[in-house]
Amino acid sequence: MSIPIKKIFSADSRKLRNFYKEVSAINKLESSYESLSNEELKNQTTIFKERLLLGEDLMNIRTEAFALVREASKRILGMRHFDVQLIGGLVLSEGNISEMPTGEGKTLVASLPSYLHGLTGKGVHVITVNEYLAKRDKEQIGQIHEFLGLSVGLNLPMMDPNDKKAAYAADITYGLGAEFGFDYLRDNMAFEASMRVQRPFYFALVDEVDSVLIDEAKTPLIIAGKTDVHPNLSHLCAKLSKSFKGNHDYTFDLHTKSVSYTEEGIEKIERYFSVDNLYDLEHQTLYHYMIQSLRARVMFIKDVDYIVKEGKVMLIDMFTGRPMEGRTLSNGLHQAIEAKEGLVVTEENKTQASITIQNYFRMYPKIGGMTGTAKNEEKEFNELYSMEVTQIPTNKPVIRKDLDDVIFDTVDAKYFAVAEKVKEIHATGQPVLIGTTSILQSEKVADFLSKEKLQFELLNAKTIQQEISLISLAGQKNAITVATNMAGRGTDILLGEGVAELGGLFVLGTERHESRRIDNQLKGRSGRQGDPGITQFYISIEDDMLQRFAEEELDKLKKKIKADKKGIITQKSASEFVSRTQRICEGSMYGMREYNLKLDNILNEQRQTIYGIRDQLLFGEQIEETFIRFLRDLPYHEIERLFDQDAEVQLTDLALLSINLQKYMPTETIPTWEFVTEEAQIIEEIQPIFNEYLPKVNELLAKAVEKDQLRLYLIQVVDTHWLRHMESMERLKEGIGMRSYAQEDPMRQYEREALILFQQMSYLIERDIAIEIGKLVSHYNHQTKGEDL
C-alpha cells in the first residue's frame, strides 16, 4: 500500500503523518490475521479483554484491534476498510472529528473505534440522525461486532424499560441521539433505582456530528406531561367538586395532607362525566383533574395560601406571608385553583424535564464525531466541545465540478431560469437534484417545474422511510428530485446505469444557506467515491438571507448592478457580496449558539447538582446520613436569611423564625425572643439545641420503618422544587434579552440571578425536607414516650 505523497502533505499533514504510520502497522498485521480461523479471530477479543484487565492501555491495543476488525469485515461483509477509513477510525478513537465526504463509508469507519472501546464493556453509544439509520447500521456493522464476540443493542423510542436496559447493557448500543437524551431525563425522573436504564456515560460516536451539535443546538429535549386536555375540563371539575361534602364524598387527612374520594364521590364523578370506571387507564387525566380540583378546594384557602389579584392567582409564601411574584403550582394545580375562583384558566406549563442535546453529549467523557462537513465550523467544535477536526483524504480523487454561482436580479427570474436549466439537463437524461433551504421554497420550485410540464419527485412531508427511498433513487437516469438540503441525510445516492457517461448527478442549489457547511452538504450529494458530478447554485439578490443580513448594502448594490435580459448579474461584486453576507450570517449564528450555550451552562451545572442530590436519595445506602446532610445547615441558613435582608429585623420576624425552627425541631424547646436580638446571639442559643436534636434524628431514623417512604417523598420534594426552578430560569432567560439594553453585561446578570434562584430553591428543598423529617421524629417521639409510660 503506497500512499501518494501529495495526500500526506495536505492540510492536516502533521496529524495525518502519524496516523499513516499506524496504518502501515495495521497493514503489516493483515497477513497474520488472514491466516487465523474464524474461531481464532473471535478469540482475539478475549485476549484483548484480558490484556485490558491486566492494566494495558486501550490505545496500546488499537493497532491490533483495527487489523482484527478489518479482517472480520472482509469475511462477514466482504468489505475491506480502505486505508483512509482506518485513518478516519483512528481520529474518532481519540475523541475528535473525522471529516469524510458523503459516500466515503463512514458507517464502516465507525466499526473500528466502536469495537475498540466496546472491549472495555463500559458501553459505546453509536448515534445516528434517524431510527432507520440506527437499525441499518446496527444490523450491518453489528454483524462484525457479534462475530468478534461483542454484544450489540438497539435503543428505540417506545421500547419498554426492560428492553431498553438490555440495549444499554450491550457493549455497543445504536440509536437516535434524542432518544438517549430522553432516556437520561426519564432516568432522572425515576422513583426506583431499578427503573433506570442507562449506565454511566463512557464513549459516544456521533454520526453527522455537525447536525447533532450545531444544527440542533437550539432544540431542547423536553419531557412534557399530558397536553391534549380540553380547557373547560378544569372548570367542569371545579363545579362538581364544589358540590361535594367532606367525609361523605371525599376525605381529607390533615396529617398527611392528602385528599381522596370515597366510593360515593367516585360514583358521582362517573355519573357526571358518564364514564364506566374512573380508575381505567383511559380516564387517568380526568381522575388527575378531579383530584387536583379537590385539592384546590380543600387544601388551598383564599387569602391564606393565595390571593386573587387582577384576575390572577398569586401564591403566598407561608413563611413570610408575602405574595410570590410569578410563582405557580405545577401539575395542573394552579389551573385547578383558577377554575375554583372562576378565573380564566392559564395554559399549563408542562415541562417536567429538559436538556439540550449538546449538553447531553457533553456529559460523555469522550465523543468522536464524523460528518462530510465540519472544517468550516472547526472553531466552534474546538471552543465549545474541545474537538479537533481532521479532513481525511478521500479514497478516490474527487472529480466533481463545482461551477460558479449564477446570480439573478429577482427571485422570479431565478426560478424561471432554474426550471429552464432543469429542462435542459433533463433532455440529456442526466439526473438533477434540486436543493432548497425550506419546504416553502421547495413548493415554489415545484410550481415552476410544473409550468414547464416536468415530472419530478418532491420530498416534502414524507416519512423518513419514503424520503430515504426517494433520495436514493435521485441518481437514476432521467430523475428530477426536489428536496431540502438536509433531506435524506446519510443516504447514499448511487448513480444509475449510464449516468456516469452523462456527467453524473447534477446538483442545482436554489438558495445559499445560512451556512456554507449546509451548501457543502448539498454539493456532497454528487461525486461520491470518485464519481463524476456537477454542482451549481442559482441565487438571486432578493433571497432571504441577503435581505435579512445586508439590507442596506443590498440597496446600494441594487443601484449599481446591471442585469441582462434573463436577469443574470455578471458583476464580480455581486458574488463577493453574497459570500461576504453568508460569512456575516455564519458569524451571527455562531454568536447566538455560543451565547445560548453559555446561558445553558449555568442551568446545566444546576441540573447536575440536583440530579446528584436525587441520586443520593435514590441510591444512598446510609440514607440517614443523607437526610441529616439536608438538615445540618438549615437553622443557620434560616437565621442568615433573616439578617441578610435589606430591611431592619423586626420582632415579628423573630417570632416567625421561632415558629419555623420549631417546625424543624418539633421535639425541642425553641426560645422566643422578646427583644430584637443579634444574629450571633441567636446562633449561640440555637446551636446547643440543634446539636442535641441531630443525634436524635439519626437514632430515630435508623429505626424508622417509613424510611423508604420518606425517601420517595423527599425525591418528590426535590423534583417539585426543581420543576418550579426550571420555570423561573426560563423566565429569567426571557427577561435577560430585554435587559441587554441596560448597561450591565447580561450574561453576568443572568449568572448572578440564576445563583440567587438556585440558592432559594436549595433552601426550599432543605426546608420541606426538614419539616417532613420533623414530623416523623415527632411521631416516633410520641410513640417512645407512650412505651415509657
Which residues make up the interface to ligand ADP (CB under 6 A)?
79-82, 85, 100, 102-108, 492
Question: Is residue 688 exposed (0-12), middle (13-18) or buried (19+ Cβ within 10 Å)?
Answer: exposed
414 binds, among Mg ion, ligand ADP, none (CB under 5 to 8 A by kind): none
Beta carbon nearer to ligand ADP, 494 or 764: 494
CB atoms within 10 A of CB 727: 16
774 binds, among ligand ADP, Mg ion, none (CB under 5 to 8 A by kind): none
Beta carbon nearer to ligand ADP, 80 or 785: 80
Query: What's the rounded Cα separation, in Å, for the pair 495 and 478?
Result: 11
Give yes or no for a contact between 517 and 210, defined as CB atoms under 8 angstroms apart. Answer: yes
Give yes or no for a contact between 70 and 30, defined as CB atoms under 8 angstroms apart. Answer: yes
Show the binding pattern over residues 470-509: x = contacts Mg ion (CB under 5 A), - = does not.
Answer: --------------------x-------------------
Give yes or no for a contact between 751 and 598, defined as CB atoms under 8 angstroms apart. Answer: no
Beta carbon nearer to Mg ion, 101 or 567: 101
What is the identity of the amino acid at 344? V
Query: What's the rounded Cα separation, in Å, for the pair 290 and 238?
Result: 8
80 binds, among ligand ADP, Mg ion, none (CB under 5 to 8 A by kind): ligand ADP
Cα within 13 Å of Cα(762), Cβ side: 21
User: 383 vs 593, 595, 745, CA distance in Å?
Assistant: 12, 13, 21
Query: What's the rounded Cα separation, in Å, for the pair 139 and 130?
Result: 14
81 binds, among ligand ADP, Mg ion, none (CB under 5 to 8 A by kind): ligand ADP
DSSP H or E segment with residue 293: helix 284-298
Question: Is residue 636 exposed (0-12), middle (13-18) or buried (19+ Cβ within 10 Å)?
Answer: middle
CB of 108 to ligand ADP, least distance (A): 4
Beta carbon nearer to ligand ADP, 106 or 334: 106
CB of 374 to ligand ADP, least distance (A): 13
Rule CB under 5 A: say whether 372 interacts with Mg ion: no
DSSP H or E segment with residue 380: helix 378-385
Assigned C-alpha cell, 157: 423510542
CB of 91 to ligand ADP, least distance (A): 14
Beta carbon nearer to ligand ADP, 530 or 666: 530
CB of 398 to Mg ion, least distance (A): 17
Query: CA angle at residue 338 from 336 to 343, to 5 degrees?
Result: 140
User: 497 vs 91, 505, 508, 753, CA distance in Å?
Assistant: 35, 12, 21, 64
Beta carbon nearer to Mg ion, 106 or 340: 106
Residue entry with cell 392528602 = 258
CB of 158 to Mg ion, least distance (A): 24
CB of 1 to Mg ion, least distance (A): 24
Beta carbon nearer to ligand ADP, 102 or 476: 102
CB of 149 to ligand ADP, least distance (A): 22
Give yes or no for a contact between 485 and 438, defined as CB atoms under 8 angstroms apart. Answer: no
123 binds, among ligand ADP, Mg ion, none (CB under 5 to 8 A by kind): none
CB of 755 to ligand ADP, least distance (A): 44
Beta carbon nearer to Mg ion, 108 or 269: 108
Beta carbon nearer to ligand ADP, 126 or 269: 126
Q: What is the DSSP letter of 501?
A: G
CB of 199 to ligand ADP, least distance (A): 27
CB atoms within 10 A of CB 363: 15
Rule CB under 5 A: say whether 106 interacts with Mg ion: yes
Rule CB under 5 A: say whether 774 interacts with Mg ion: no
Beta carbon nearer to ligand ADP, 389 or 597: 389
What is the identity of the amino acid at 661? L
Stretch that binds Mg ion, among 106-114, 161-169, 407-415, 770-778 (CB under 5 A): 106-114
Q: Are strands 568-569 and 406-408 parallel, antiparallel or unpaired?
A: antiparallel
Give yes or no for a contact between 306 and 313, defined as CB atoms under 8 angstroms apart. Answer: yes
CB of 271 to Mg ion, least distance (A): 59
User: Contact positions toward Mg ion, by CB under 5 A?
Assistant: 106, 490
